[in-house]
Chain A
Amino acid sequence: MKYVNEYRDAKLVYGVIEEIRRTVTRPWVLMEICGGQTHAIVRHGIDQLLPPEIELVHGPGCPVCVTPLELIDKALTIAASPDVIFCSYGDMLRVPGSGRDLFSIKAQGGDVRVIYSPLDAVKLAQQNLDKQVVFFAIGFETTAPPNVMSILQAQRLGLTNYSILVSHVRVPPAIKAILSSPHNRVQGFLLAGHVSAVMGYWEYPPLVDEFKIPMVVTGFEPLDIVQGILKTVQLLEAGKVEVANAYSRAVNFDGNLPAQKTINQVFYECDRKWRGIGMIPMSGWGLRPEFDAFNAEKRFDVEAIHTQESPLCIAGQILQGLKKPHDCPAFGKECTTENPLGATMVSSEGACAAYYRYGRVELHQQVEQS
């Protein structure tokens, strides 16, 4: 596959890793923000190829993982309502709310559909005027443009039976929260390439100035990731504090300005609860009041649902990079991808799922034994 295979070339990757080895002189802790990067790192064994001085900790960039239990309970209530077609991306179906999931709602007769684009949900609304079609709009900045487009399109079509349940989150406030924590160990960030393709990286210089820590926009293929790591290590070793771009084939400083404009037309910045972390000020997007007609929380009267998180799962600490998945006593035992206890094990972008799927259970046990 063109533009993919080149960036998976093992020889090139080894070359960059050698360069990292030559550059590094002392220990550094880096965080990759995005769950997609976590999976690529573990799948390709990049963390094992790096010199021991470099520790990668995994960030909260998995939208499924950070969606609060409360919102999932709201989704389940809406999906179980009569005359509703509830649309979601596939990996949300198995995420348990308080005792049930979207799969069980579907088995009990709820009309739950997996779609690949919110515009498909708009189409469903057009075809089913006697039903309410609701799209579960979760995600970071990356998925915001199509989600807001679906609202604008529904408005243009005059649809009164389409709404979205919004739980959008934003990267910069999350980074600020992590860096503000007294437990923070992170010394450099790999910024999420897809998010930056939409948003650019103009939001990060103030954070870099405030916390004196370098950040590097990084892509998702193995070569992209090691180049992002190399750039971060070079900045750290040189004592430079700045934002750099190691993913210039997809990202520029300004980002996609028409997309940003459209997002701001429909969404406003608001406080948002992150699962396992708690409330982060101004870290989310909500629907502006003029789009109340498309707000599923208002339409279905679920604003009163409040849920407490389970105290057992340590996903919160994992999402903040304070613990590794195998630090959890349930990891690989009670909690597996077949029988997940928490969202970090369910989602295809979750750190626990990455560690479990790519065999870090045995690896960890072997290390313990040796």
Chain B
Amino acid sequence: MSEETVNIEGAVCAPPLPHSEQIVMGHGAGGRMSHQLIQKAFVSAFQNPALQAGDDAAMLQPVPGMQLSISTDAHVVTPLFFPGGDIGRLAVCGTVNDVAMLGAKPLYLTAGFILEEGLEMNTLQRVIASMQAAAQEAGVQIVAGDTKVVQKGKADGLYITTAGVGLIPVGTNIRGAQAKPGDVIILSGSIGDHGIAVLGARGELGFQSTIQSDVAPLNHLIEAMMNTSKNIHVLRDPTRGGLATTLNEIATQSSVGIMLDEKTLPVHPEVAAACEMLGFDPLYIANEGKLVAFVSREDVDAVLKTMKSTRYGEDAVIVGEVTAEPRRRVLLKTSSAVPV
């Protein structure tokens, strides 16, 4: 036997690189890398029994007699991190709030992730940690999820879709079609903060600003309001399209008129200045942590007091009222009334 004999036993493939720093296509291929990513990044962060069971779907207990509130949302934002929040907090709060606007108690979320090849693992982990923090604050569990990876250039870093489920207490009928003439409209705080904060983070304002996004889960605020009054007719969060668009939707759904009082609308001076310079109207700028409530006149004081005692409602104000006419129009009381 010569010493040059090939030693078959000794031949080994180089071990695959772990790719723990960046997302690569293999993370979405469904094999070992996908599994590791899910275990390491997602399951360990979103700890709960339904997710840890590792099944194709989460098995949850029904609650007899309760109605479900279900909503879904897709989240796309540039940049991923902005003053006051990030895409993860946005994804959780957006769906929690949508579910809660029917008066529901949100319980479970699912999350789908579309990751761009080359995304820093550290970025993903920060987003996931932020989602978990927001979920914890809202008191919901992220019980199912999915991950796909697309080629570099085919996505903007990271997209998240979320779905949420909540339970609507018996006898609750809070909906966009329930506004009634005479209802008083309460706004939970200042408008336009989120939209201007994101514009600022993109560097599109042309000047520095200290404006923070208002992104926040509003379900605890809503719970407190519902414990105070049985006469809340409509709840809605004025997200994309702003307060004006939201109120126009409600006026159409309920076939009523809405009169807003411009003097009462809370707008931070920085937001007002940014809008003035760029030709925007704060009424049309997105919010992610605000709600409008349509409440019977007799309960307004109590609801307002409750709201002011909560973290996300401390700046709540009355901004307008529902009128019978003109139907399906939202008017803004300036020196004279103009539609918005």
Instruction: List A residues at the B interface (Cβ < 8 Å).
Output: 1, 4, 10, 13, 42-46, 48-49, 116-117, 222, 348, 357-359, 362
Contacts and interface: CB of A to CB of B under 8 A. Distances in A.
Q: Which of B276, B329, B331, B339 has the most CB of A within 10 A?
A: B339
Given A116-B204, A117-B206, A1 B336 contact: no
Nearest to A4: B276
Give 5 nearest A-B pairs by CB, closest first: A45-B336, A359-B339, A358-B338, A10-B335, A44-B335
B273 interface: yes
Contacts of B169: none
B334 A43 contact: yes
Contacts of B329: 359, 362
Interface in B186-215: 204, 206
Contact of A45 (B269, B279, B335): B335
Q: What interface size band does chain B fall in?
A: 10 to 19
Contacts, number: 39
Interface in B256-309: 269, 272-273, 276, 278-279
A362 B338 contact: no
A1 B206 contact: no
A46 B273 CA distance: 23
B216 to A, nearest CB: 26
B54 interface: no
A348 B284 CA distance: 14
17 contacts: A1-B276, A13-B335, A43-B334, A44-B335, A44-B336, A45-B335, A45-B336, A45-B338, A49-B335, A116-B206, A116-B278, A222-B335, A359-B329, A359-B331, A359-B338, A359-B339, A362-B329
Nearest to B269: A1
B326 interface: yes
A117 B207 CA distance: 13
B276 A49 contact: no
A117 B206 CA distance: 9
Contacts of A359: 329, 331, 338-339
A222 B334 CA distance: 11
Nearest to A14: B335
A49 B279 contact: no
A291 B272 CA distance: 40
Contact of B334 (A1, A4, A44, A362): A44
B334 A45 contact: yes
B336 A49 contact: yes
Contact of A348 (B273, B279, B331): B279
